[in-house]
Amino acid sequence: MNTAPPTSYKASPSLHIYATSTPAAFLAANPSVHQLMTGALVTNAEGQVLLLRRAPHDTWPLQWEVPGGCVDDDDVSVVAAAVRELWEETGLRAKVAKAPVRLVPGKEQVVDADLEIIGDLMIFRDEEAAWGKLTIWIDVESYDAVKICDDEHVEYAWVTEQEAREKRFSDGRELDFTSEGVRRHVLEGFRMWREERGNLSSKRASSG
């Protein structure tokens, strides 16, 4: 049984600054951000995205989100924090941290009024601090090993792009995200998955 988050995962060059800087060093270099959070976006072989439903006693009760949470002072990097949170909340072990999930201008430009996008980070503010959230696309060792922590979440689901766009599961249940920013990250994850699949298909065709 694995009793600690993985440390042997690989991180892509696009995540270099987040994989090599300690949280303290990153915050010192980005003084407009006071606290850090991470999200882990996982897509399975069918291109579905893993979502967790928050516990009824927690903030944003019974709403859906990607795995993630606060970056701790003892995390060796922001990427390591995302890997840890993914493991703690789902039991999934990261194999590759593939890329930051960026929100870029497009057809869906509306983000919650209290959110802001700066580079790879989604920024939101409360009365005390500006929080920066980095969502990372992560490949895992096994998609079949999901085991949620009952204290934080009550349910998990692998959702399709259509379900995320319509904010409704195929069985008719409402899919209520914790924020529009989270939903947009999920939609960007679907786009990244399609792009990767297209690139792989092109490479196979050219090598054949």
- Listed by start position, the domains of the chain span 10-207
| pLDDT score of 107 | 53
* Residue bearing the bigger pLDDT, 35 or 118: 35
Compute φ and ψ for 63, nearest 5 degrees: -95, 165
- For the segment 123-146, the average pLDDT, to the nearest whole number, is 93
- For the segment 39-46, the average pLDDT, to the nearest whole number, is 98
| pLDDT score of 49 | 99
pTM: 0.91
Q: Using alpha carbons only, how large is the chain's radius of gyration in Å? A: 17
**Residue 194 is inside which H or E element, if any?**
helix 180-207
Pair of tokens at residue 82: 């995302």
Nearest to 197 by CA among 15, 44, 16: 44
CATH architecture of 10-207: Alpha-Beta Complex (3.90)
| pLDDT score of 155 | 97
- For the segment 171-195, the average pLDDT, to the nearest whole number, is 95
- For the segment 121-146, the average pLDDT, to the nearest whole number, is 93
